[in-house]
Structures are given as C-alpha cells and as structure tokens.
Amino acid sequence: MAMLWRAFSSIAAEHPFWSQTFVATTKSIIADAGTQRFVEKRDLDTYDWKRTAVFGTFGFVYLGILQYGVYVKGFEYLFNKKVINRFCNAPFREKLKDKEGIRVLGKQIALDFIVLQPLVYWPCYYTTKEFVKSPEPVVEGVKKDESGAFSRAMTKYGKTFWIDNVGMLGFWFPADIVIYSVPMHLRLHLTHVVSFAWTVVVSTYRGD
C-alpha cells in the first residue's frame, strides 16, 4: 500500500494536470455507471448512456480542466502562494500554529462555498447535462422560444437551488478542510477521490 501511495504521489507531482484530469473523468464515469447498475438496478436495455456521457463530459471539462485552473492556479494567484505552500506542506502540528495559513484556508473555503459552488459548479453541471442530453421535450416552466440549453438548465437549477447548495455544503465542508490542507499537487486528486461518493449522490438525485 505504501509503495502504491508513493507511486501515485510521484505521478501526481510530475504530471499534476493530466493525472488529475484522468482521475476526474474516469471517476465520474465509473460513479454514474455504478449508480445505474447497482443502485438503480438498470440492465443494458434501460441503461442511460447519455447520462453517463454527461458525467464523463462534466468530469473532463469542469472537474478536470476548469477546476485545475481555479482551485490550483487561480487560488495561488488570488491568495499568497508562499503561505499556501508553507501551510499545505507543513506537518499537522505546524499547521495548527500557522495563523496566517489558517486564515488563507478559511478564505479559500469561503470563496468555494459562497461563489464557486452555487454560481459555477451547479450551473456548469446543469448546462452540461442539457447540452449532452438534448434534444429533449421542453421542461415544465420553460417557454418554447427559450429552447437553449442554458435557459433550460437555469430553470431546473432555480427550482432546486437551496436543496442543491445546502446538501453540497453539508457534504463538502468537512472534506474541504482536509483538501485545502494537503500539498497542492495532491489537492485535486484528493478532491476526486472524495468526489466519487458525491458523484454517486448527484447521479442518484440529479442524474435524470
């Protein structure tokens, strides 16, 4: 196990972008496929391939590419990169003493929950879902001339805004405390590992 961890950490350090993009995409596909097969008990006749395509596309584009630009490069730009790296690379006891690092940790988590998750994550997910699964019948509450994927996506998201975001807060807040405290080259890899369970939740309740 220790050998596998060292190998994984080495690959993540040498190829942080592509390795985490691969994990994000693969994880998303497997999580939805597992949900459909083992949770919903679908067989090949009832399996929703477009739904898996939604999660694969979202995993590659948003979780893999966009999140790397935001949560790694973007956060290093917005906040003090030296403080982030010092805090993330320090032993746990040293982290507890680093008041500046703890403040930066809090700012990252606040930005994630106040801005990125409600205004970026969910709109991107619902829009990806509409683009990949279209054409479909016009959803209830959307006029025929509002047939664009984004309009349909925002109408659906508007109906579940509070449930989606309160649920996401409850799931991700404890995880983010750990995720934003590990070395930067492992940040998104750890996110994707935790996100496997989250993807199962989204697939179950927001997949169709």
> What is the separation of C-alpha 74 from the centre of its chain, rounded to a whole number of angstroms?
15
**DSSP-assigned letters across all residues of 48-106:** -HHHHHHHHHHIIIIIIIIHIIIIIIIHHHHS-HHHHHHHHHS-HHHHHH-HHHHHHHH
Q: Give the chain's mean pLDDT.
A: 92
Q: Which residue has the higher pLDDT, 58 or 146?
A: 58
Q: State the Cα–Cα distance between residues 89 and 27, nearest whole angstrom.
A: 26
pTM: 0.89
Query: Mean per-residue pLDDT for 159-167?
Result: 98
Q: Give the pLDDT of residue 147.
A: 59
Q: Give 28-50 pLDDT, tens digit per residue.
A: 999 999 999 999 999 999 999 99
Do 191 and 67 meet the contact criterion of CB atoms below 8 Å apart? yes
